[in-house]
Amino acid sequence: MKIFATLGAAAAMMTAGAAYAGPAVLVEAKDHAIISGGIGSGTPLETRNQSGLAAFYVDEGTSLHPFTAVITHTTIFSGYEWFSDSGTTSAAVSYFVDASSRIKGINHFVLWNEESSGIGVFDLYYGAAPGALTDLVLAGITPTDNPLVDYLPDVYEFSKRPNTGWWTLVMDGCPQPIVGSYPACAVGEVAWGGPSVPEPATWAMMLGGFGLVGFAARRRRQSLSVTA
Ligand SMILES: [Ca+2]
Ligand SMILES: [Ca+2]
Ligand SMILES: [Ca+2]
């Protein structure tokens, strides 16, 4: 009876919760739309399907850290990147993120900033449709100006946004100074991240854990009252 009450309290704590959320995992964009900058070369598909990364991640299943601390994007262009039209210094691309209920909000943006042109400065918006500049999430960000070597991503954290929506990357100040030979904006790869909700098995383990904590506390109280 008492154990039952303890479990009930633990479950209530978690649902009312301080919302337990697991470590952030990587989330892949499911669609894209070019808003400005021309059709360019390559396709934004190559910036959201993990092409060019040194190792692939499992959508919603791979920890953001340490993956993003070690996985580089290749400098090889063909099939791996997107460039806006030659001569453009700004561009905008929208990405559709639609995470399952296993993810509890989106609170990271990950950018492998293409090495030869790259993005000088960017804003990132969240909205309901391609090109919707509804909610300014990241403003005036200057990403790493990568040299001509395989490169790591920049990881940005912000307060949680809904699992589903369109994210518009508004790029300006292109190309970046280092190399900067091709006059355009370019993206190597993008990803999002959000805290994962534990699997049912994990919930059971946690409930078990709470039960044990309650049991131990009760035993402590009992032995205290005996010795008192
Ligand atoms: Ca890529
Ligand atoms: Ca490149
Ligand atoms: Ca660069």
Q: Is 180 left (phi over 0), alpha (psi -120 to 50) or beta?
A: left
**66-86 pLDDT, tens digit each:** 999 999 999 999 999 999 999
CA of 147 to the centre of ligand 2 (A): 10
**7-41 pLDDT, tens digit each:** 444 444 444 444 567 899 999 999 999 999 999 99
DSSP 50-88: -TTBSS---TTTSBHHHHHHH--B-S--TTT-EEPPTT-
Query: Considering the entire predicted model, what is its pTM?
Result: 0.82
**159-189 pLDDT, tens digit each:** 999 999 999 999 999 999 999 889 999 999 9
**Exposure of 111 by Cβ count < 10 A (0-12 exposed, 13-18 middle, 19+ buried)?**
buried
Nearest-angstrom CA–CA distance, 107 and 121: 20
Which residues sit with Cβ closer than 5 angstroms to ligand 3, an ion? 115, 118, 145-146, 176, 178
Query: CA separation (Å) from 80 to 58, 147, 216?
Result: 18, 17, 56
pLDDT over 90 percentage in the chain: 75
CA of 72 to the centre of ligand 2 (A): 12
CA of 167 to the centre of ligand 3 (A): 23
Higher-pLDDT residue of 162, 3: 162
Which residues sit with Cβ closer than 5 angstroms to ligand 2, an ion? 77, 116
Q: Give the CA radius of gyration of the chain.
A: 23
CA of 194 to the centre of ligand 2 (A): 27
Cis peptide before 183 (omega within 30 of 0): no
